């Protein structure tokens, strides 16, 4: 599934993605604009630059799915966790610029490779990579900087594990991610992992790969694994906006 985001707008919107710039004129009725992941690489990408004039906007993001793996050479496909979802309404009082980072989907040909915007790579054969988070920010710069400027985030899904056993990756979160299919992987939240050793937990939007499996990126924490029975990563946490916010 293509990673994308939509928003409604009521005024002039100018969008730049590093290659081209486009101005969207506002009709009398609200419209939707979808943004697709703009890069060929799973881990090397750049944000959209979005210029908003005064108005009211509905923003919605989905984190990227965690990596799928095959249970052995001839085994069935083991799916990674799905990305999280967050949405909210933004009120813009004057011209503002937002930066949209879309999470990279997990690389199915390289289980050790990371995913753009915080998805961790696996550490062992049979690990699935974590999916990257998707977020809107008020500051420019690389994805691994200016985390405090993020205003809307959806965590990426955790990678699966399918070498000896079959464990589906945990789902990415709004406020927190989900456990893996065993129910034992630590849950990624806004503030790191819900429980377990903190040095084995992703932090500040960067999921941490552990055996077996890898976590997705979230706001301040990716997924982790259960230290006594390490199977696969849980989904990363994000931030779900439930009330109106203003910039």
How confident is the model over 2-61, as pLDDT tens digits? 444 444 443 344 555 544 444 444 444 456 777 888 888 888 888 888 888 888 888 888
Residue-level pLDDT at 217: 47
Length of the chain: 247
Instruction: Pick the range with the lowest mean pLDDT from 82-86, 151-155, 182-186.
Output: 182-186
pLDDT average, residue stretch 164-174: 58
Residues in CB range of 129: below 8 A, 6 or more apart? 42, 66, 67, 80, 106, 107, 110, 111, 112, 113, 114, 115, 119, 120, 121, 122, 159, 209, 214
Which of 7, 213, 44, 245 lies closest to 127 in space, CA to CA? Answer: 213
pLDDT at 158 over 60: yes
User: Which comes out higher in pLDDT, residue 216 or 31?
Assistant: 31
Rounded to two decimals, what is the model's pTM? Answer: 0.71
Helices (H), 70-226: none
Cα distances (angstroms) measured from residue 184 to each of 36, 113, 180, 197, 231: 33, 24, 7, 14, 8
Residue-level pLDDT at 139: 92
pLDDT average, residue stretch 59-73: 75
User: Which comes out higher in pLDDT, residue 241 or 96?
Assistant: 96
User: Which comes out higher in pLDDT, residue 52 or 169?
Assistant: 52
| Average pLDDT of the chain, as a whole number | 64
The CA distance from 82 to 39, in Å, is 20
């Amino acid at each position: 599934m293509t990673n994308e985001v939509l928003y409604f707008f009521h005024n002039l919107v100018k969008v730049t993605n590093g290659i081209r710039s486009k101005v969207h004129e506002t009709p009398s009725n609200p419209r939707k604009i979808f943004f697709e992941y703009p890069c060929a690489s799973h881990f090397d990408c750049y944000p959209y630059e979005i210029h908003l004039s005064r108005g009211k906007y509905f923003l919605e993001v989905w984190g990227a799915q965690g990596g799928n793996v095959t249970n052995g050479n001839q085994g069935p496909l083991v799916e990674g966790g799905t990305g999280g979802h967050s949405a909210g309404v933004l009120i813009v009082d004057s011209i503002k610029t937002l930066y949209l980072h879309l999470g990279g989907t997990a690389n199915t040909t390289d289980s050790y490779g990371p995913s753009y915007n915080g998805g961790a790579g696996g550490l062992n054969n049979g690990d699935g990579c974590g999916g990257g988070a998707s977020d809107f920010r008020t500051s420019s710069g690389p994805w691994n900087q200016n985390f405090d400027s993020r205003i809307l985030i959806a965590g990426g899904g955790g990678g699966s594990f399918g070498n000896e056993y079959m464990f589906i990756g945990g789902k990415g979160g709004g406020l927190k991610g989900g456990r893996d299919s065993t129910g034992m992987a630590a849950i990624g939240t806004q503030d790191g992992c819900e429980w377990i050793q903190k040095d084995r937990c992703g932090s500040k939007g960067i999921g941490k790969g552990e055996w077996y499996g890898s976590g997705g990126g979230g706001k301040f924490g990716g997924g982790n694994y259960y230290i006594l029975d390490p199977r696969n990563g849980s989904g990363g946490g994000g931030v779900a906006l439930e009330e109106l916010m203003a910039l």
